[in-house]
Amino acid sequence: MKPQVVELRGVTTARELARRVIGTRAQEVGRLAAAFEGREKAQLHDFRIACKRLRYALERFSALEPSLEAASQQFALLQDALGEAHDRDVLLTILPPAMGETQRRLQLEREVCVIAAAAMWEALKEPAQQLLSHHF
């Protein structure tokens, strides 16, 4: 998934640059959050990558606004949980058919990771909306 282009025309300050970059990355995350509904691996992976981009943007601009650091850390945890689910998805694609018990264990572990990530996202929805509103 390619990142959404950040419109930088007319930007004259570092704070405005931060608002535009973070706002665009937060929009991506919000748009891709529907991945939790179907729990499909490709959509969850795209959501994870969008969270990663947002996290990096938050880290880059935390010197301008220290409150962004806490959100960055929360998105890192969400990204980690989705990364664990993705690791199980990859293992499931290469697992020999004769390893049914291992397959069931990996599927269960994946679901636990996705459930944890979904709960983290629920807690992050409001802060993500604030990022979209550019209140920093």
| DSSP H or E stretch at residue 78 | helix 68-94
The helix-helix angle for 100-132 and 14-32 (nearest 10°) equals 140
pLDDT tens figures, 86-119 = 999 999 999 998 999 999 999 999 999 999 999 9
The pLDDT of residue 136 is 57
pLDDT tens figures, 23-70 = 999 999 999 999 999 999 999 999 999 999 999 999 999 999 888 998
Measured CA to CA, the distance from residue 101 to residue 25 in angstroms comes to: 40
